[in-house]
Amino acid sequence: MQLLIINGPNLNLLGHREPDIYGTQTFEDVLLRIRQKYPSYKIGYFQSNHEGELVDRVQTTLAEELDGVVLNLGALTHYSYALHDALKMVKCPKVEVHISHIFSREAFRHQSVIAPACDGMISGLGTAGYDLAIQWLAAKGQ
């Protein structure tokens, strides 16, 4: 199973940014946990604070043989039609993940413009959402 996790803006500060909302684990901690939990899976990782770099990375998946993509695009989730358009081209399953419960926060966070380009969404379950997305992708791939 070959998977890719793509994180967007401010997720490089996980563990430091609003720990009451996002928790105290860094994403390095989360990634280590995931890779230990799924040792036979090849799990790539990419993070950027820049929309264009994220679009470029999504586009490169077109030439890769991936079994799935897990995405947490942060605030870009709510307004990046460029990422929506890039994701629509990706043929493998895609799961949108949000650490916080986006529907219980500010009104502008209630809409995801990338959701129609993804196969599913996990919101509000903390960093366990990444694990759940991987479990779903694994089940879909069998």
Q: Which of 98, 101, 110, 130 is catalytic?
A: 98
Q: Please give the helix or strand (H or E) that residue 32 lies within, else none.
A: helix 27-37
Q: Please give the helix or strand (H or E) that residue 43 lies within, else none.
A: strand 42-47
Using alpha carbons only, give the angle 134, 56, 109 rounded to the nearest 5 degrees.
Answer: 60
For the record, the structure tokens of 60 come out as 């490169």
Q: Which of 22, 45, 81, 130 is catalytic?
A: 22
Residue 98 annotated to the active site:
yes
Burial-class residue 97 by CB neighbours within 10 Å (0-12, 13-18, 19+).
buried
Residue 16 annotated to the active site:
no
Give the C-alpha distances (Å, rounded to integers) separating 106 from 41, 47, 48, 78, 127: 36, 24, 23, 11, 20
Using CA atoms, how far apart are residues 71 and 6, in angstroms rounded to an integer?
A: 5
Q: Which of the residues are catalytic?
A: 22, 98
